[in-house]
Structure 1
């Protein structure tokens, strides 16, 4: 259900709606008319406030849980608040310092991505997510070393210095001098190419009989390519940290919702597909509850922002996921700032 324009609400309705949403986001609990009458400075009786609450409920902006006399915002109400009423500031000095320090720590980029996900979780009180950009590094060298009678260690060295180790399970017949021949062949055919480009060229040469490899070396190369391709396809593209932070007291009162959310996070491919939507935007995106099919059952929100390399190209997405009562005004600028810092780190 689409939320009505803010201009359709009277000033009194806007004030009460804003107080209900802010109270709910702060406490996670429905806000009642007595609370609004006593603490908000509205100078209205509880009866007058209840009348406005009923109107806002009729418009689909608020709902009244059966267990409470108070009101809480619907997903449509949260969308109206986020888009038309929320005032977004800047991360605090402490938050900025923590983000800059953690992301700038020396080490491989994979560690920086994991640290970013953990940091977002710590600062937001929700789960942090970073979608890892697919690596398309160009290879410089491939070496194969026997670990034992049935296993080979493959070391792939990229031109940018990135190193990946893969273990291949092979028969003893494939070892021996075939390893050196296969290593030399793989390096010659893959140097300056991505793994996908090298795989296509090598597979074509093997299929057309254009290699000088012996049977054992050819089998070793074919098995290696098949294993690496499968490994890359199965590797998670999403780093999620801080799932335990989703299990607060309010969440445990609705254990089915929490179970549904954790199941969603286990389905990393589905979450990654959602984050792909944020890759095509210039700014931070907010997905609220039932607006997105993936989180319609768990009632969760996602705040996500693309991060870019220095050339402006989007290389990935980061963000947080948590209950719809996230502190949007605080988390949105935090996610945006983190995305900019991670982009600087990637270069």
Structure 2
């Protein structure tokens, strides 16, 4: 039997706070040292869906948002609804009258009320005190109007966010004091990326992915250069539905043509010579919908003679992108994605992650 000293007999030894902190710090440092870090640069033109993809990945693999954090998105969702409805009203007033977009009856009064509200709206940044239900009624009534719906049916003739129908269908939620945005609401919220946003999440406890998202509009692209160092791969996001649309910055330029031009610059940029590119052909759901509604790829590619079927159109767009790559040794992996679909994003990223992790380990010399 071991005899304890009187000072210790029948007592507990209090932990040394400094020692505990030191052990915790050593554990964190050891974890960092044994973690494979993979830094990804997320590129694409404006409205390609890359920021939505980043939010979706963080929702799946990162720390889940709490209610308080999700509440912060209500202002963005309401603002998205206001912006979308304003674009629809403007289109209804300017599109050819034969399209049946003119407002009539009480819709005119609602339009005038909405415009008065819009002129007074500065920045709505207090989720606990949203605008009242009156403006939600006005917006809901306008959204249901036949003229506005006809304008929506002709949305490829003007710039309208892809999330317009989603945010307008739920306008009463955005003004409800009790409503807390869901995960899907957060993913659907449209907040333009300006500057550089870096997020990170741990994948299967062994790999730390660091994703860098930069603004896709033309005036934001000059900020990319200093992000080029220490990049494991580039994820380039292209919107498949952009073949019908024009740039917000320059209405004379087709969005898909702009994406192909930018992809050519990225593929053939000397600093990216040895960096693999992951090509995400995004918004496949919208492409399917537009093709079902009669859209034709010849809008952007007059030389296209194939059928307007989903697979044929996607294959043609994919070939057009791969064709601009002048280095045939370069690794380009292509995936079809829908950034607003969590299951699709998870399946694609888990398939992709195996390739990225293996390359990252090779670059670090851990495997040969």
Task: Give the alignment's TM-score, normalised by structure 2.
Answer: 0.25
Greater percentage in strand: 1
Task: Give the alignment's TM-score, normalised by structure 1.
Answer: 0.27
